């Protein structure tokens, strides 16, 4: 798909989800790549696409944590071409907007990834919102699959490095609050970044202080972070109970148990809980395969589970449609709630809910077409509709 908007048209479905609620049968009027109207009856004068019975038309999914896809990892190939390949791979899972994610790496790689995202955005690459820098300022006590040799302590100039994208796109930074010197979070936020806590061993003290400085997120809740104890809140306790926190969560049946998913949904609600994939290169890889390398370590795929040599989870082979399906069927959420967690809530946290994450006049015509089993049957990006053959 290109930057050029698709043709003006009307898309009609028996079930339309607007980002918060199901509206029943509606017709979405698309003009110039944007939603011009949402009506009960298709208006005359424009080509009409009537979706099959039982189809759901919903806002395209917004994924804040995408390490790779289509057989490529951003760390291995921080270029606009790789970013385009990753975005295309995730479109088949219903994602129409995402943050390419760089996991902990050396500073020259960070600089290259930011430059690649800036170039992709400048070229009008659809669906690229900015960049997620997950590390390298993380706790060596909670590295997860990150390479300990690539973790770092803050040095002069790092705030400017991390926020080098500037106003050209969204910058999301995951860090361990206890690793960041006082004032670091506020400096990052002042330069326009969203800051999230992750890969942290903090007992909750540094997390609270970072929230007061403007931190507002928790990265892959429950994973690679200090847990709730009988006396210590830990990162999990703070994330679950502080209303300032938007929390991402990986609903794939491997990272977080179903009971924990239900607890998170009950405490955070769909207004603060966000589905993410933390996806690696196997998603949408036409070559298939059961192995790839990450910083010299072999990562093995068994079904949709990815692990390193020692059994550590290594991201996921999850799509956003799969996350919605799992959250709605096993994670204690209604379908409406799960779909909100995959669209409107992440868009709202990024401050982009006036543009994406909902079906409403003035928003981008970025849509996903789902069947009754929540399998993706097509996507619409800036009005360019691509339907899969039945």
User: If we measure between CA atoms, which residue out of 324, 278, 303 comes closest to residue 17?
Assistant: 324
Q: How far is CA 43 from the centre of its chain?
A: 35
Q: How far is CA 67 from the centre of its chain?
A: 10
The annotation status of 153 as a binding-site residue, yes or no, is no
What is the side-by-side order of every strand in the sheet holding 34-39?
Answer: 34-39, 26-31, 9-13, 48-50
The annotation status of 356 as a binding-site residue, yes or no, is no
The CB density around residue 353, as the number of other CB atoms within 10 Å, is 20
The annotation status of 75 as a binding-site residue, yes or no, is no
User: Quick check: 250 and 318 in contact, CB under 8 A?
Assistant: yes
The annotation status of 313 as a binding-site residue, yes or no, is yes
Q: Quote the tokens at residue 67.
A: 């390490």
Report, as residue numbers or ranges, the catalytic residues: 278
Question: How many angstroms separate the CA atoms of 57 and 44, rounded?
Answer: 20
The annotation status of 223 as a binding-site residue, yes or no, is yes
Question: How many angstroms separate the CA atoms of 337 and 97, rounded?
Answer: 19
Q: Quote the tokens at residue 66.
A: 């995408």
User: 88: burial class by Cβ within 10 Å (0-12, 13-18, 19+)?
Assistant: middle
- Cα dihedral value 358, 361, 367, 370, nearest 10: 80
The annotation status of 325 as a binding-site residue, yes or no, is no
The annotation status of 330 as a binding-site residue, yes or no, is no
The annotation status of 132 as a binding-site residue, yes or no, is no
Question: How many angstroms separate the CA atoms of 132 and 266, rounded?
Answer: 27
User: If we measure between CA atoms, which residue out of 170, 174, 186, 182 comes closest to residue 350?
Assistant: 170
| Helices and strands: H and E segment counts in the chain | 10, 22
Note the maximum CA span of the chain: 65
Rg of the Cα atoms in the chain: 20
Q: Which residues are annotated as a binding site for substrate?
A: 145, 223-224, 231, 255, 313-315
Q: Which residues are annotated as a binding site?
A: 134, 145, 199, 220, 223-224, 231, 255, 313-315
Q: Which residues are annotated as a binding site for Zn(2+)?
A: 134, 199, 220
């Amino acid at each position: 798909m290109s930057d050029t908007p698709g043709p003006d048209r009307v898309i009609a479905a028996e079930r339309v989800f607007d980002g918060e609620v199901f509206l029943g049968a509606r017709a979405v009027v698309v003009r110039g790549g944007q939603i011009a109207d949402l009506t009960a009856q298709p208006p005359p004068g424009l080509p009409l696409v009537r979706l099959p019975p039982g189809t759901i038309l919903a806002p395209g999914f917004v994924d804040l944590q995408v390490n790779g896809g289509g057989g490529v990892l951003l760390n291995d190939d921080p270029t606009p071409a790789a970013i385009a390949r990753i975005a295309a791979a995730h479109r088949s899972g219903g994602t129409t907007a995402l943050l390419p994610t760089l996991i902990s790496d050396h500073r020259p790689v960070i600089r290259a990834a930011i430059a690649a995202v800036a170039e992709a955005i400048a070229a009008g690459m659809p669906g690229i919102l900015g960049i997620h820098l997950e590390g390298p300022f993380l706790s060596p006590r909670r590295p997860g699959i990150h390479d300990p040799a690539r973790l770092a302590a803050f040095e002069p100039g790092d705030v400017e490095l991390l926020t080098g994208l500037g106003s050209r796109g969204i910058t999301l930074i995951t860090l361990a609050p206890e690793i960041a010197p006082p004032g670091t979070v506020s400096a990052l936020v002042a330069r326009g970044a969203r800051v999230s806590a992750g890969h942290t061993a903090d007992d909750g003290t540094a997390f609270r202080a970072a929230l007061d400085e403007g931190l507002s997120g928790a990265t892959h809740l429950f994973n690679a972070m200090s847990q709730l104890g009988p006396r210590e809140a830990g990162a999990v306790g703070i994330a679950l109970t502080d209303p300032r926190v938007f929390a991402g969560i990986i609903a794939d049946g491997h990272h977080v148990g179903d009971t924990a998913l239900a607890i998170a949904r009950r405490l955070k609600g769909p207004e603060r809980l966000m589905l993410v994939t933390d996806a690696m290169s196997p998603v949408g890889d036409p070559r298939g395969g059961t192995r790839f390398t990450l910083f010299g370590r072999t990562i093995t795929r068994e079904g949709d589970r990815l692990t390193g040599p020692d059994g550590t989870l290594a991201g996921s082979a999850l799509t956003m449609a799969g996350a919605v399906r799992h959250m709605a069927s096993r994670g204690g959420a209604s379908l409406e709630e799960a779909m909100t967690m995959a669209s409107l809530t992440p868009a709202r946290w990024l401050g982009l809910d006036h543009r994406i994450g909902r079906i409403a006049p003035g928003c981008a015509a970025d849509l996903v077409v789902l069947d009754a089993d929540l399998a993706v049957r097509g996507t619409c990006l800036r009005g360019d509709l691509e339907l899969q053959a039945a």
